[in-house]
A and B are shown apart, each in its own frame.
Chain A
Amino acid sequence: MRVFRFSYGVELLYVSGIMKASIEYVDNVPIINLSGRLDTLTAPALDAELASFLVESRPRILLDLADVTYISSAGLRSILHLVKHTSAHGGRLGVFAVAPHIMELIEISGFPSLLDLYPDRKGALDSMHGSA
């Protein structure tokens, strides 16, 4: 596992060959960008990488799923960890750009009541700024 950190506020975490994750900050709002497959193989590695990120209190986190092609129940558990973290710190997780086939899983699992869904990055950031 290779970890790249950039001094201008963007951290790149290469979790595996079939999933990539990075964290960027827009107006102090952290956005976790994922791409590829979030499954039984990759989710534990993502959880491990995010552990240090979640040491700090982060009531506001956005999750960008635009480039995620697949999420299994293991991936849902990773998202649930983020839900629980933001909730425990008085906030809520925002998720945007979910592919329609993944939305079926999100809805069947009852996640829409736990997090805020946005169609795109702009809508998510506008909401964050509105609630700041």
Chain B
Amino acid sequence: MQSSAQSPIRLRPELSKLPQLVAYIALFAQEHGLNISDTYALTLAAEELFSNTIRHSRSPANWVLFSLIHRHESVIATYTDDAPPFDPTLQAESDITASAGTRPVGGLGIHFIRRAMRSFDYRRLDNRNVVTFTRHLTG
């Protein structure tokens, strides 16, 4: 099976590090010829998980590890942090049919990941949260 990986990026979970995460994905996308739609979807998903680590961890995570693998017509992303257990795949489905007045303002990021990715999985492994998602490339 042909696959091509990029060395993982390790970040402190701080909002100021978000541009580094974005740049990492942009470089991968450039090297692998990803179109703007796929690049956008991967970036949005990674940003969502990164902001969740920062905002929702009951105790602060010390680090985040993120990697991308290009395999055939898909990109497999692995997002790992050392925060307390948190499974984003269990987040309640966002009600996208609610009216403007009652539409909840949260949950849209996870909703997008569920819809835009072929898979979205969580494991707790060695006291780490490990989230993987796969984007089936559109171009």
Contact = CB atoms under 8 A, between A and B. Distances in A.
A112 to B, nearest CB: 10
Given A77-B105, A83-B103, A84-B103, A41 B15 contact: yes
| Interface size class of chain B, counting residues whose CB lies under 8 Å from the partner chain | 20 to 34
9 contacts: A40-B18, A72-B109, A77-B106, A80-B105, A84-B100, A102-B40, A108-B96, A109-B96, A114-B99
B43 A109 contact: no
Contact of B41 (A41, A81, A100, A104): A104
Interface string B95-139: 011011101011011011001100000000000000000000000
Contacts of B112: 73, 105, 108-109
Contacts of A74: 51, 109
A117 to B, nearest CB: 15
Interface in A89-116: 100-102, 104-105, 108-110, 113-114
Interface of B: 15, 18-19, 36-37, 40-41, 43-44, 47-48, 50-51, 96-97, 99-101, 103, 105-106, 108-109, 111-112, 115-116
B100 A87 contact: yes
A118 interface: no
A73 B109 contact: yes
A70 interface: yes
A110 B15 contact: no
Contact of A72 (B37, B47, B111): B47
A80 B103 contact: yes
Contacts of B103: 80, 83-84, 114
Contacts of A64: none
A39 B106 contact: no
B108 A83 contact: no
Interface of A: 18, 39-41, 70, 72-74, 76-77, 80-81, 83-84, 87-88, 100-102, 104-105, 108-110, 113-114
Contacts of A72: 44, 47-48, 51, 109
Most chain-A Cβ atoms within 10 A of its Cβ — which of B40, B50, B97, B101? B40
A113 B50 CA distance: 29
A101 B112 CA distance: 13
Contacts of A73: 44, 47-48, 108-109, 112
A102 B43 CA distance: 12
B105 A81 contact: yes
A78 to B, nearest CB: 9
